[in-house]
Amino acid sequence: VVARRQESAALRSALALIPDEQRKVIELAFFGGFTHTEIATMTGLAVGTVKGRMRLGLSKLRDELSGKVGSL
């Protein structure tokens, strides 16, 4: 249980470190189950921008997680 809490805290910390606009599209996709087209409609962004932010955000999240907690 402690390890799970630590992992959850590490993930939340890492998520908090990526730019807001990138975190938002990742959260909408991951937690909300929305597609990139739906997210583009909701946010008023171009589809390409949404996908680009997803990619940059996940890449930064990978860097944060691999550099600070555990390994991927």
- The three-point CA angle 12-37-13 to 5° equals 5
Q: How far is the CB of 12 from another protein (least distance, A)?
A: 8
Distance CA 27, CA 67 (A): 22
Count of chain residues binding another protein (CB under 8 A): 40
Greatest C-alpha distance within the chain? 41
Question: Considering only residues 28-57, where is the footprint of another protein by CB under 8 A?
Answer: 28-39, 41-42, 44, 48, 50-52, 54-57
Distance CA 57, CA 18 (A): 6
Contact flag: residue 21 with another protein (CB under 8 A): no
Question: Which positions lie near another protein, rule CB under 8 A?
Answer: 4, 7-8, 10-12, 24, 26-39, 41-42, 44, 48, 50-52, 54-63, 65, 72
